[in-house]
Amino acid sequence: MEKFFKEMMRRNVVKVAVVYLIAGGLTMQVADVMFPALNLPEWLTSAIAALLLVGFPFALIFAWAFELTPEGIKRESEVDRSQSITGTTGKKLNHTIIIILSIALGFMLVDKFVLQNDEAAQREEIVATDIKPSIAVLPFVNMSDDKDNEYFSDGLSEELLNLLAKIPQLHVAGRTSSFQFKGTNDDLRVIGEQLNVAHILEGSVRKSGTRLRITAQLINADTGYHLWSETYDRELTDVFAIQDEIASNVVGALRPKLLGKSIPIPSHGTDNIDAYNLYLRGLYLSDQTTEADYLNAKEALKRAIEIDPDYAQAYAQLAEVHQLLISGFVGDGYESFVEGFRQVHEYADAALAINPTLPEALTTKASAIWSGDFNIGLAAEYYTRALEGDPNNTNALGWLGFLRSVEGKGDESIRLSERALELDPLAIVALRTLGDSYRIAGRPDEALATYNKALELQPGTARVNGRMARMALARGDFEAAAVYTAREPVQWERDMFAIMVNSKGEDSDAFQAATLAYANTYGDSNSYQLAEIYAFVGDLDNAFKWLTTGIEVRDPGIPWMPVSEFLVVAHDDPRWMETRQRAGL
């Protein structure tokens, strides 16, 4: 063994092995770093490693069996020992080892301190881009002696929220969730956890005549520490400057974490304080629950527009209020859908003529397009444009999610609805929309779980019991459907599902009498619901008759027909596609 080892040393086999291993390691290191940068496939790296491993024993055999001579490469057995130059070759191999080691060391240093630092910087940049700073704007406390000034403090808070929400670099909790904490003294850290935000903006407003005192403070929700606070003693006419200053200070306090060097603050839409004051009153009344409040909101917004005819935000809010009134979300609905939607279009178009990119106007226009015109594709384009200007617009996210459901794009619908809920985690409408996306996508367990979360937040008014009754009826569970129906707060839904529950799926004189009474009570405005009732018992003639009526009167329920559980029975009927085409679906 000793003689064998000495012979290996004389023939430079060991040195060849060392050179091979160092050169192979350097090759793999270069491949590992450079191949991804050159977009070369990963299997090339593995192939090179395999070739190096296979070649190693052949290199040792070659070094043992052959020798480099002045005449070229010869078999070792053919070389006279006295003429051998293995010593000289060994010295050259030593130099080669030193050179390759130097190159390998240099490459390692460049990789560690230059290339990896660049990659780390890129990763940090990606993280900084993807992870937005988050904030919730709590309703400012009304400290005025006149409690009727509640509209002003609430409206100021909502305007600040809207200003910040339109900054793409910020993640802003939705208004519905933020306003859940109005009048509470909950720990800000608990609020931050519930709203999934890292920062909270809160404050107070004292309004006396034309004098304002506004206090605002930005708080770290994790620690409870104040990041910034300011008190403004100004005239009412300075309210726009105050809002801009508060928004700018919030951005400035958060900039080290997230933002660029300069973040523009969106426009208020008016410089007229009287118009703005009426707009805030309209916003406040729009958030109430009665038809009278909505009608008063319309009057306040119309007066704001009379004072400032170029007030795009007031036009957009007026369109939104009108849309809710005619669709029956508030009150008993509008006597004519055709005339009602025409008016919504007029208000929304007026807003867009002043500001073509105003998200609020684009969203309301989209709603009128799909619910009144039944144009799903065009409505989706408007919602998409709204989201380009306001990525935090939960209204646009939720309704675009619904449209994707109608188009059969269940996964995208769920993704959009989940995003809306992420922004507004305590919003009933966001939970309801996500539940609808799950239900339409054929995921009933997740739909029921989501509806139940809404009921935990608002047991009596969440408007999801009707949806749960719908699911129970679709699977033939009349007992569960009866329980859900009795809990539904909306009268026309409760009456509709009660007819279905009592029908037990069979045609009868009692069913006919109940359905006729329903038609007499609600008329053509509930054409779509009557179509579902008749389809549920298999009476397709009457179902198609009422769908046709719904199309004629522009019943907002018609766009739901492709995803109705009760209308599935009509899909094989030749009249189904004819009716969808007539509706423009």
Characterize 363-387 residue by residue with b for buried, 16 or more Cβ atoms within 10 angstroms of its Cβ, and e for exposed. bbbbbbbbbbebbbeebbebbebbb
509: DSSP letter? H
| pLDDT at res. 123 | 40
- Check residue 409 and report its DSSP letter: -
d(CA 8, CA 152): 93
Distance separating alpha carbons of residues 431 and 459, to the nearest angstrom: 13
Give the residue with greater pLDDT, 310 vs 392: 310
CATH of the domain spanning 134-266, picked from 3.40.50.2000, 3.40.50.10070, 3.40.50.2300, 3.30.2400.10: 3.40.50.10070
CA distance 368 to 232: 41
pLDDT higher at 419 or 56: 419
Residue ranges per domain, the chain?
Answer: 2-129, 134-266, 489-585
* pLDDT reading at 371 higher than 60: yes
CB 85 within 8 A of CB 7: no
Residue 330 banded pLDDT, cuts 50, 70, 90: very low
The pLDDT tens digits for 111-131 are: 665 555 554 444 444 333 334
pLDDT 10s digits, 394-418: 889 999 999 999 898 999 999 999 9
pLDDT at 84: 66
Q: How confident is the model at residue 471 (pLDDT cuts 50, 70, 90)?
A: very high
Distance separating alpha carbons of residues 416 and 68, to the nearest angstrom: 71
Highest mean pLDDT among 40-49, 149-158, 358-367: 358-367
Mean pLDDT, all residues of the chain:
82
Among the listed ranges 184-188, 424-428, 580-584, which one has the minimum average pLDDT value?
184-188
Min mean pLDDT across 21-30, 371-380, 552-561 is at 21-30
Query: Residue 411: is it exposed, middle or buried by C-beta count within 10 angstroms (0-12/13-18/19+)?
Result: exposed
Least confident of 64-68, 100-104, 184-188: 64-68
* pLDDT tens-digit map of 225-282: 888 888 888 887 777 777 777 777 777 777 555 444 455 556 678 888 889 889 888 8
CB 29 within 8 A of CB 111: yes
Q: Which is more confidently placed, 12 or 39?
A: 12
**Measuring CA to CA, which residue among 280, 50, 260, 36 is closest to residue 148?**
280
**CA–CA separation, 356 and 365 (whole Å):** 11
Q: What is the pLDDT of residue 399?
A: 92
- The structure tokens listed for 135 are 């904030």
| Residue 81: predicted pLDDT | 62
**Which residue from 213, 189, 179, 245 is spatially nearest to 429, judged by alpha carbons?**
179
Q: Is the pLDDT of residue 7 over 80?
A: no
With cut-offs at 50, 70 and 90, classify the pLDDT of residue 107. low
What pLDDT, on the 0 to 100 scale, is given for residue 258? Answer: 47
Q: Is the pLDDT of residue 6 over 80?
A: no
pLDDT at 387 over 80: yes
Mean pLDDT in residue range 205-211:
83
Which has more pLDDT, 142 or 46? Answer: 142
Mean pLDDT confidence for 45-59: 79
- 134 pLDDT band, cuts 50/70/90, is confident
- Judge whether residue 426 has pLDDT over 90: no
Mean pLDDT over residues 168-172, rounded?
78
Q: How many CB atoms lie within 10 A of CB 423?
A: 27
Q: Which of 182, 161, 180, 181 is nearest to 172 (CA)?
A: 161
Backbone angles phi, psi at 542, to 5 degrees: -70, -30
First CA to last CA distance, the chain: 88
Q: Is the pLDDT of residue 329 over 80?
A: no
Dihedral sign for Cα atoms in the order 488, 493, 495, 501? negative
* pTM for this model (two decimals): 0.69
What pLDDT does residue 93 have?
A: 67
Give yes or no for a contact between 199 and 135, defined as CB atoms under 8 angstroms apart: yes
For 306, the token pair is 């009379």
Q: Band the pLDDT of 565: cuts 50, 70, 90.
A: very high
